[in-house]
Structure formats: C-alpha cells, structure tokens
Amino acid sequence: MKNILLIGHDANRAGAQLVLLNLMRLLKAEGIQMRLLLGDGGPLLSEYQAICPVTIWPAPARYVVGAMSDKVLWKLGLWNTFQARQLKAHQRAVQSQLNLESVDLVLVNTVTSSHWFSQLNIPEKTPVVTFVHELAMSVRLYTQPDELAYLLRRTTRMLAVSKATACYYEQQHGFDPARITLYTLIDTPSLERNVQQARQQPNIYESLGLPGNALIVGGCGNAEWRKGNDLFVTLARQVIGRASDTITEPVHFVWVGVPTGTLRDDLLLDINKAGLADRVHLIPPTPDVLRYMSHFDVFVLCSREDPYPLVVFEAGLSNLPVVCFEGAGGAPELIETDGGYVVPYLDLDTMSSRILELLRRPDLRSTMGKRLAQKILERHPAQQSVQTLVTLFNQLTRP
C-alpha cells in the first residue's frame, strides 16, 4: 500500500482545490494512504480532513519575540537571525508531523505549493509528481522564481491539465516534454449528479427579481483581473445594447463568485454608470453555483488566462454552449467548433456577436451544449483517469 504526501496551497473552494478533493476521494477508494499538507485553510478543510490527516503550515507569528524585543533585535541587526530560527523551528515541526522518511511519493498540487515544498527536506530518492494548473500570469503572481525552479528540478513527472499548459512549461521553463503527461481529473459522475440535483431545486433567480422569460448569460470564478470580471461587464454593455433590436426577451448577465471588496466596488461603479444595475448581477461565492448555472442560457469564459477551467466542465454538463478566448488557456481544446465558440483574444466585438447569435437561436444553443457535454463524458471518464494515475504511481515507486 502506497503512502503519499499531498501538498496543496489552501482549502478554498476553487478549481484546483476541488480537483484535489476529487482525486483524494478516488485514491482513498484505491486503498492508498495519504497525508495532506496545506499552506492555509479554507471552506474545503473539513472535507479534506474526512479523507486523510491534514497538516496546515504554521502561520507566521506577528512577532519573532515580542513587540519591544523585535525593535531591539532590529536595531542590533539580529532580527533576521531570530526570524530564520523561527522559520527553521516551523520546518522541523512540520517535517516531524509528516514523517517524510515513510513517504513513498509526493504529489504537489499546483506550482503555488512550491513555497511549502521548497521548505521540506524531501529525500532525493522520493519521486515527486507535480500537477500544474497555472500559466504565466498565475506563476508570476503566486510563485517565487527560486522556489518554482527548485520544484521543477525535483519533479520526476509533471501532470499538465491541457496542451496549452504543457507547452508553457516546456517552452518557458525548459521542462523535458518526455516527462510531461497530459492529465485531467474530472469526477464526471458526481458533476452529473450535482447538475441534476441543481435542476430539481426551485429557481434561485426569483430571489433576484429576474423575470421568468429572461435570457441569462453567465460567468463564474474568482474575482480577479485574470478572470476578466471587468470584460464581463463590458460584454454585458455591448450585448444588452444590441439585443434590443432582435431579441424580445430581457437579457441578464450573472457572475457567480464576486465577494465583498475593492474589485466588487469597482465593478459596481462601472455597472451603475452604464445603467446596467438591473441587468448585471454579481453573486458572492457560494456552494450553490450549479443552481445558478442550471438556468444559464450561455456560458461566457472571459478569462485572460485559465489552464483548463472546471467551470467549463460544469457548464458543459449543464448542456450550455461556451464562448471563450483563443490563447487564454486550454478551454479551446475542448470547446473546438462544435461546443460553442472560440474567438480571438480580447475581441469583445466578436464575442458579443457570438453570444447574441446563441441567444437568438435556442436550437443552436441546445445542439452545441449537448455536444460539449458529450465530449466531456467521452474524453474524461473519472475511473479511467484515476487508474492512469495509480499506474503512474506504481511505476515511479517500483523498487
């Protein structure tokens, strides 16, 4: 029985973290023993803990010694020395909990986790599998060059979620393509069940006051520049302005996943100044994502970068066509020409036109949405995916 150490950056309810959760469930069913190290907690923590023991990296203390003592140490030029000692103590404590000598293999979920991986003294003999979900923007934002370089040097096998992702690490980081495996784990049976359950729930849009005949263009994901929340508002302005000439139903735009904060305030400023307060709706992060999505008519992925987003699978299994940008990640590899539309990068005029075409033609929406669902089920059977991974683990840990 294999003993695997998993490393993740946090337990927030987002794509890579949900993929890890599904992976852990499947590995547990295969009889694999696991321990998970996280850089931080989050809403998924209890679900992780239900599967295996979880260690959270100690948060940095506010002071190395104390408020006054730290000032004295700084003046004496000794603060960095004491701070380094504190960090070493944290490292030793975590290493002791993880019992690294007993670990057969390490699976690093996201290169963001390179920060914590680089602080562990993983034995050189231990194979390391790195599951990469990030492209250039996220790498720049969430990794340090030396930590990422160390992780990639120690990586025995890389799992890339899409061809676009594999190409990035090969071309930009010089990773050997012979050691890259295209791998996407989507728990399609669970997603299908969740979609069906969401459809059976009361229409959640009644609480927003949307009319029953509204056509809904949906978006979903974190509130950040990379996800293109600002582009979503611009698209709403273009589509709603042009829709009045040919579409009798009211068109609404709904983005699920925008919490209270500066970006939300900025988006609302644009929404209000454009006169769209009654047509563009920003929903906070919620576990009820599929209740909103199940009533979308079109899903728009306006991300500037998204390696292979889980939301596209959720949309596809909800029989929704998807409109996305070329060159923004791996989604075009799945959508192609029959599961929606792929438009030139940041070409909002063409994207608006494609959205309008889908809104005008329910037959086309249905055909493309069902085709996308079919491709997801054909290309990403969950059991086949986990068996591929178990086979790889066995190969890497063979004496």
What is the separation of C-alpha 214 from the centre of its chain, rounded to a whole number of angstroms? 29
Neighbouring C-beta atoms of residue 190, cutoff 10 Å:
12
| Cα separation values, 379 from 26, 159, 184, 383, Å | 18, 16, 10, 12
Residues 141-166: what's their mean pLDDT? 92
Q: Is the pTM of this model over 0.85?
A: no
CA atoms of 316 and 339, how far apart (whole Å) = 8
Which pLDDT score, from 0 to 100, does residue 366 have?
A: 96
Query: Which residues, including other chains, have CB under 8 Å from residue 287's CB and lie 6 or more apart?
Result: 13, 43
Which pLDDT score, from 0 to 100, does residue 317 have?
A: 93
- Helix (H) or strand (E) holding 385, with range, is helix 382-397
On the 0-12 / 13-18 / 19+ scale of CB atoms within 10 A, 247 is middle
Cα-Cα-Cα-Cα torsion 196, 311, 379, 326, nearest 10 degrees, comes to 140
Tens of pLDDT, residues 50-98: 999 888 876 665 555 556 665 665 676 655 665 666 666 666 666 667 7
On the 0-12 / 13-18 / 19+ scale of CB atoms within 10 A, 220 is buried
What average pLDDT is seen over the chain?
A: 87
CA atoms of 132 and 159, how far apart (whole Å) = 6
Which pLDDT score, from 0 to 100, does residue 387 have?
A: 81
Residues 380-396: what's their mean pLDDT? 79
Beta bridge partners, 342, equal: 324
What are 143-148's contacts with CB under 8 Å, separation 24+?
A: 143/111, 143/112, 143/114, 143/115, 144/114, 144/115, 146/118, 147/114, 147/115, 147/117, 147/118, 148/111, 148/114, 148/173
Which pLDDT score, from 0 to 100, does residue 157 have?
A: 94
pLDDT at 39 over 60: yes
Which pLDDT score, from 0 to 100, does residue 159 have?
A: 92
Tens of pLDDT, residues 301-355: 999 998 888 899 999 999 999 999 999 988 999 999 999 999 999 999 999 999 9
CA atoms of 90 and 39, how far apart (whole Å) = 12
Residues 203-230: what's their mean pLDDT? 90
355 and 239 Cβ atoms separated by less than 8 Å: yes
Give the pLDDT band (50/70/90) at residue 269. very high
Give the pLDDT band (50/70/90) at residue 160. very high
Which pLDDT score, from 0 to 100, does residue 296 have?
A: 95
Determine the CATH number of domain 3-185+381-397: 3.40.50.2000
Same CATH topology for 3-185+381-397 and 188-379: the answer is yes
Give the pLDDT band (50/70/90) at residue 384. low
Which pLDDT score, from 0 to 100, does residue 190 have?
A: 82
Which pLDDT score, from 0 to 100, does residue 155 have?
A: 95
Which pLDDT score, from 0 to 100, does residue 167 have?
A: 93
Beta bridge partners, 215, equal: 251
Give the whole-number percent of the chain exceeding pLDDT 90: 51
Which pLDDT score, from 0 to 100, does residue 91 have?
A: 65
Within 244-361, residue ranges assigned H as helices are 262-273, 289-293, 310-317, 331-335, 348-360
Which pLDDT score, from 0 to 100, does residue 82 have?
A: 57
Query: Which residues, including other chains, have CB under 8 Å from residue 2's CB and lie 6 or more apart?
Result: 32, 33, 104, 105, 393, 394, 397
Give the pLDDT band (50/70/90) at residue 379. confident
Which pLDDT score, from 0 to 100, does residue 100 have?
A: 72
CA atoms of 287 and 270, how far apart (whole Å) = 27
Give the pLDDT band (50/70/90) at residue 38. confident
Tens of pLDDT, residues 245-263: 889 899 999 999 999 999 9
User: What are the sequence ranges of the domains in the chain?
Assistant: 3-185+381-397, 188-379
- Per-residue tokens: 332: 């075009």
- Per-residue tokens: 286: 């919620």
Which pLDDT score, from 0 to 100, does residue 15 have?
A: 75
Which pLDDT score, from 0 to 100, does residue 361 have?
A: 95
Give the whole-number percent of the chain exceeding pLDDT 70: 89
Give the pLDDT band (50/70/90) at residue 299. very high
Asked if CATH classification 3.40.50.2000 holds for the domain at 188-379, the reply, yes or no, is yes
pLDDT at 377 over 70: yes
Angle 38-42-47 (CA atoms, 0-180°, nearest 5)?
80
Which pLDDT score, from 0 to 100, does residue 301 have?
A: 97
Which pLDDT score, from 0 to 100, does residue 388 have?
A: 83
Give the pLDDT band (50/70/90) at residue 108. very high
Residue 127 dihedral angles phi and psi, to the nearest 5°: -65, 145
Give the pLDDT band (50/70/90) at residue 22. confident
218 and 312 Cβ atoms separated by less than 8 Å: no
